[in-house]
Amino acid sequence: EIVLTQSPGTVSLSPGERATLSCRASQSVRSSYLAWYQQKPGQAPRLLIYGASSRATGIPDRFSGRGSGTDFTLTINRLETDDFAVYYCQHYGSSPLFGQGTKVEI
Amino acid sequence: DVQLLESGGGLAQPGGSLRLSCAASGFTFNNYAMNWARQAPGKGLEWVSAITGSGSRTTYSDSVKGRFIISRDNSRDTLYLQMNGLRAEDTAVYYCARENPVPAFDIWGQGTMVTVSS
């Protein structure tokens, strides 16, 4: 069974800085099955990245994803106040699986 | 607009049942697999169940297998989750989500709260 481990659990940054979020799988996974979501308090998740590196519709290019095998990264450049949220990675397998989340706080 | 709207949440007793609905609009419903995911208070996301566009195949997480039933009515553009044998640990916000072929969950509903308590 695949386990997704996100790090750090919480990162404290200022607007304008860069956030680098990690998602590590316990075994190699297909990059095409790796997605990232953003969730703000009281809201549903929103798809940011699919296929490890493709931005979903309407997602600004400040958000970028990369990685392969077991190590994946979501980078948010020039943080805006609207970006402070919790971010989840997801592996789409026979049983879709989410990481435990990384909170990006001001 | 593409939209999903859940309903049917509420308070249930342990061992009881609830049926959630998810009404879809703005897209051809039967072209898409659909999923249910949940989020316990203060916790992360957990996938619950999925169903193919035709409804012919369903999958479940181990935590709900044998207790929950996912179904859909493509004539009504509606997804369902029948929840039986509810436990306190089923307390969560339940989201329906559209699965695009990428694959990823590209559209989410606003969620409906289910509380299991005596």
Contact call for B105 and A37, based on CB within 8 A? yes
> Measuring CA to CA, which residue among B83, B112, B95 is closest to residue B16?
B83
Calculate the average pLDDT of chain B. Answer: 97
Q: Is the peptide bond before B14 cis (omega within 30 degrees of 0)?
A: no
List all residues 6 or more positions away from A30 whose beta carbon is below 8 Å from its beta carbon. none
> DSSP labels for A9-38?
SEEE--TTS-EEEEEEEEEEE-GGGEEEEE
CB contact under 8 A, A37 and B44: no
The answer to whether residue B75 scores a pLDDT higher than 90 is yes
Q: Are strands B45-51 and A54-55 parallel, antiparallel or unpaired?
A: unpaired
Q: Which two tokens stand for residue B99?
A: 């699965």
Measured in degrees and rounded to the nearest 5, phi and psi for residue A33 equal -105, 15
| A2: amino acid identity, one letter | I
Chain B partners within 8 Å of A56 (Cβ)? 104, 106
For B24-72, write each residue's pLDDT tens digit. 999 999 999 999 999 999 999 999 999 999 999 999 999 999 999 999 9
pLDDT at A1: 86
The whole-number pLDDT of residue A7 equals 95
Distance from CA of B13 to the nearest CA of A (A): 25
Question: What would the pLDDT profile of A3-52 be if each residue is shown by its tens digit?
Answer: 999 999 999 999 999 999 999 999 999 999 999 999 999 999 999 999 99
B109/A39 Cβ within 8 A = no
